[in-house]
């Protein structure tokens, strides 16, 4: 009986795993051009809200939040918009919001995930962004849309 050198046996164990790693490496997603286009620069001035420990507890670090899917630009009627981007500090559940909520004002705010909403303060009022339908926005222009975010039901909303 011919005995194989130890290095040959070790290679037989390592090669299948190495092959799997190389194959999976080719499965990485490409660049999301829409996400790149939505990365508008956000001004440094933003109205801050109080941080809570419920967002980034140690047991959910790295977990995707439902609000992470809202990153990007949402449009309303007559040029109104809501642009949601990850906050510059990179903390999970923190967002930089650029918002034109009426024809006379465009401003930036800090947003904080709170369950299935993003909370922010505008004009001293605590507001929450939540998912909804175009009909809930209160605008005829958006009534047939299904992928929307509502700030004030019947008064302020944005859709994709």
Please report, in tens digits, the pLDDT of each residue of the chain (160 residues total).
Answer: 555 555 444 434 444 544 444 344 444 444 444 443 444 444 444 555 555 444 444 445 567 899 999 999 999 999 999 999 999 999 999 999 999 999 999 999 999 999 999 999 999 999 999 999 999 999 999 999 999 999 999 899 999 9
Domains of the chain as residue ranges with CATH? 33-52+64-159 (2.40.128)
* pLDDT tens readout for residues 50-79: 554 444 444 455 678 999 999 999 999 999
Count of other CB atoms within 10 angstroms of residue 110: 21
Rounded Cα distance, 83 and 18, in Å: 43
The residue written with tokens 């909804």 in the block is: 132
Secondary structure letter of residue 160 according to DSSP: -
Residue 84 burial by CB count (10 A; 0-12/13-18/19+): exposed, middle or buried?
buried
């Amino acid at each position: 009986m011919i005995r194989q050198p130890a290095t040959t046996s070790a290679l037989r164990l390592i090669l299948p795993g190495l092959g799997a790693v190389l194959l999976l490496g080719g499965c990485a997603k490409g660049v999301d051009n829409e996400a790149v286009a939505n990365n508008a620069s956000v001004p440094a001035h933003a109205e801050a809200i109080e941080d809570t420990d419920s967002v980034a507890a140690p047991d959910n670090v790295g977990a995707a939040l439902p609000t992470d899917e809202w990153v990007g630009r949402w449009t309303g009627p007559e040029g109104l918009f809501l642009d949601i981007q990850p906050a510059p500090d990179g903390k999970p559940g923190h967002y930089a919001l650029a918002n034109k909520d009426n024809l006379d004002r465009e401003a930036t705010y800090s947003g904080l995930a709170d369950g299935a909403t993003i909370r922010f303060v505008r004009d001293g009022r605590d507001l929450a962004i939540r998912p909804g339908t175009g009909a809930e926005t209160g605008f005829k222009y958006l009534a047939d849309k299904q992928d929307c975010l509502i700030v004030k039901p019947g008064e302020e909303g944005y859709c994709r």
